[in-house]
């Protein structure tokens, strides 16, 4: 039988249903201890192996074709996916908030803004590859990684913890990129050790969090899709020359941009799917 409705329920029919809040797990939970231990180990390894340098041929991409007067044409235009996904996400969030955790409501649009920033930064970088434009490319990528990381922590572990971590980790991430650039200016090959943590920690922590804290109310499968696409991104990036030689049309780096944009779209779909549209 259909559930009996309260007479005043019509006033709230258009209200967006709220998902169950994330649990505030005890800091003495062994799972917390595991995550903290992993972070400490990665930090120690980064210090031990510092300085971590880029390869000497980092700026020498396989596909350097000029088309329509645009150098490195395909490495530039393949960034359009970031712009498309970022604008779609911002538009949808403006129409109906995608935030599942009110404490971090500003982090969701920040993620989409970072995709728009990645489009601008990566396009500028590939038009004129060099340390300064690479810094402009890495800053929005860092913001996107960290905002997503803190959102996952808020959704699966603790909203308070996710909120408390966001600004400090954003500051660390941006400063790690600036530090790499400054050491690159001084030494010719900057130290990437602090920045490597920005890349590694979320990629290691997020799947572990999804596994240790299962929650059917959150878009777990979409996060896993995005992680899978990210792994393919790194594989394509490492096979830049091989893929270009194989296809003669698309390089591994251009494919990386496409796969990364698809990963962002998976995250958008996860948030949209798990946020019911209001009745009209």
**Residues 168, 149: Cα–Cα separation, whole Å:** 13
Task: Give the three-class secondary structure for 67.
Answer: strand
**Residues 235, 80: Cα–Cα separation, whole Å:** 21
Residues 137-179 have pLDDT tens digits of 999 999 999 999 999 999 999 999 999 999 999 999 999 999 9
Residue with tokens 């997020």: 206
Task: Give the three-class secondary structure for 70.
Answer: strand
Number of residues in the chain: 280
Range list of H helices, the chain: 30-49, 73-77, 80-95, 107-127, 131-156, 159-187, 193-212, 220-238, 240-247, 252-273
HSE-CB for 133 with a 13 A CA cutoff: 14
Report the predicted TM-score, pTM, of the whole model to 2 decimal places: 0.85
Residue 87: partners with Cβ closer than 8 Å, 6 or more residues away: 112, 116
Cβ(166)–Cβ(104) below 8 Å: yes
Cβ(157)–Cβ(104) below 8 Å: no
Cβ neighbours of 216 (radius 10 Å): 6
Residue 25: partners with Cβ closer than 8 Å, 6 or more residues away: 31, 32, 157, 158, 213
Residues 43-65 have pLDDT tens digits of 999 999 999 998 888 888 988 88
| Gyration radius from the chain CA atoms | 21
Q: Print pLDDT tens along the chain (280 aa).
A: 444 444 444 444 444 445 555 555 555 678 989 999 999 999 999 999 999 998 888 888 988 888 888 999 999 999 999 999 999 999 999 999 898 878 889 999 999 999 999 999 999 999 999 999 999 999 999 999 999 999 999 999 999 999 999 999 999 999 999 999 999 988 878 999 999 999 999 999 999 999 999 887 788 999 999 999 999 999 999 999 999 898 888 999 999 999 999 999 999 999 998 775 443 3
């Amino acid at each position: 039988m259909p559930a009996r409705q309260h007479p005043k329920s019509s006033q709230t029919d258009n209200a967006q249903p709220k998902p169950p809040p994330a649990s505030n797990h005890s800091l003495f939970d062994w799972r917390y201890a595991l995550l903290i231990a992993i972070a400490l180990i990665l930090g120690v390894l980064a210090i031990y192996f510092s300085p971590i340098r880029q390869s000497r041929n980092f700026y020498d991409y396989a596909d350097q074709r000029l088309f329509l007067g645009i150098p490195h044409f395909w490495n530039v235009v393949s960034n359009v996916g970031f712009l498309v996904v970022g604008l779609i996400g911002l538009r949808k969030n403006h129409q109906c908030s995608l935030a599942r955790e009110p404490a971090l409501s500003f982090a969701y649009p920040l993620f989409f803004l970072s995709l728009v920033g990645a489009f601008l930064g990566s396009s500028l970088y590939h038009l004129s590859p060099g340390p300064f434009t690479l810094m402009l490319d890495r800053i929005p990528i860092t913001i996107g990684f960290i905002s997503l990381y803190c959102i996952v922590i808020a959704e699966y572990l603790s909203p308070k913890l996710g909120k408390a971590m966001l600004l400090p980790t954003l500051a660390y991430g941006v400063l790690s990129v600036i530090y790499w650039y400054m050491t690159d200016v001084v030494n010719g090959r900057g130290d990437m050790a602090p920045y490597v943590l920005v890349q590694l920690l979320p990629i290691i922590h997020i799947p572990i969090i999804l596994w240790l804290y299962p929650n059917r109310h959150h878009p777990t499968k979409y996060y896993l899709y995005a992680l899978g696409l990210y792994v393919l991104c790194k594989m394509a990036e490492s096979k830049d020359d091989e893929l270009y030689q194989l296809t003669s049309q698309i390089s591994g780096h251009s494919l990386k941009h496409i796969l990364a944009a698809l990963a962002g779209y998976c995250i958008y779909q996860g948030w949209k799917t798990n946020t019911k549209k209001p009745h009209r």
